[in-house]
Structure 1
Amino acid sequence: MHALRLLRAAVFAVACVTASLAMHVLAGGSPVGPDVLVPAALPVTAGAFLLARRRRGFGMLLGAGFVTQYGLHLWFSAGAEPPPAQGHPHAGGLSAGLFMLLVHAATALLSAYWLERGESGLALLLRLLVASILTVLLWRLPVTARRTAVPARCERVPLVTRLLAATVSRRGPPVPFSVV
């Protein structure tokens, strides 16, 4: 299970660092070489690995995203190539700094949203996979083994039904207000 979590964290780190660098350069920062880019992914991978132990809420992911973007901004600025010429529209000043802040904040917001929705989607996908595997396994059992005597007073819901009920998301108006 740790290998899957490490793989997910590494993929996220590469995507996060690449998007952060692209937005950093778009906001007027100097490009950096691979010698700066590769070491930036290591702490992001470690942080994502630690956060991926269990599902986190959007607020926690957003806070981690802001801290990560701030660290990546400092890392990219320290390892940047020579500053742009003075004729560059984003060469300096308050507007360039504010634009850089907004770009990194937007990247943190999108990363947190992507992580939160990705976690929910992955959890739903895994539940559906387990439910379908159990359904196929139960369907393949002989008919005599499937019919077990359950006492009438004990209303037990089968495991597959509970798993499917947990994964079904209902959309639309509440039942009392439904026309159908």
Structure 2
Amino acid sequence: MDMGAAGVRAARAAVFTALCVTLSTGAHVLLSGSPVPLTPLVAVSAGVFLLAFALAGRERGFLRIASLLIPLELAADTVFTSGQHACYGQAGGPVAGPLRSVGVDLLCGGGEVGTPLARMAAHGGQAAALPFGGGPAGDPALPWLLLAAHVGVGLLAAVWLRRGEAALAQ
């Protein structure tokens, strides 16, 4: 199979984007207890698709996949968290005041993704204790635990993607 053909590249990039962005968004909403604004989600989806399309021309090894996937996951998490903070504030409520007049309406006006999942997380009682990313507020180990979780998930996803690459190449 010619992995460099435009149709194959587009199909691989679309499947990769759909799976990765859906899983990332779902996990982010579940852990944060807040929906992700639509504009950051669209921006992350477009970026992931373009990058995946550009790199889908040939088979990649595990280290190359992992070295791209882990920073990509951390960047998507940063964009989602920034969008949540800009649209919902630290406490999860709407942001008011001068920030609205500077264009936050443009960022937050498109809708929300994952609201039912956020409600489910809030009903579990964890959302109040887990502000944007989990853990007791003020815990100094929390950022390191979240980083370790992102790296671990990135490595597992890289193994999964590598096996998919090998299967498609055969």
Q: 1:107 to 1:17 in 2, by over 3 A?
A: farther
Match of 1:21 among 14, 21, 25: 25
| Secondary structure in 1 matching 2:77 | helix
Separation in structure 1 between the aligned mates of residue 148 and residue 32 of structure 2, nearest angstrom = 12
- Assess if the C-alpha contact under 8 Å between 1:61 and 1:112 holds in 2: yes
Give the structure 1 partner of residue 152 of structure 2: 106
Runs of 4+ in 1 over 6 A off after TM superposition: none
1:116 aligns with 2:162: yes
Equivalence map 1:24-43=2 (5 Å): 24-28=28-32, 30-43=34-47
1:2 aligns with 2:6: yes
**Uncovered stretches (5+) of structure 1, i.e. residues with no partner:** 125-180
- Assess if the C-alpha contact under 8 Å between 1:62 and 1:112 holds in 2: yes
Q: Deviations along 1:21-64, whole A, 9 cap, x unmatched?
A: 22333444743122221221111111111221111110010000
Q: 1:87 to 1:123 in 2, by over 3 A?
A: closer
**Which amino acid letter does the alignment assign opposite residue 137 of structure 2?**
G
Separation in structure 2 between the aligned mates of residue 91 and residue 61 of structure 1, nearest angstrom = 33
Give the structure 2 partner of residue 92 of structure 1: 137
TM-score normalised per structure 1: 0.60
**Uncovered stretches (5+) of structure 2, i.e. residues with no partner:** 93-126
TM-score normalised per structure 2: 0.63
Aligned length: 124
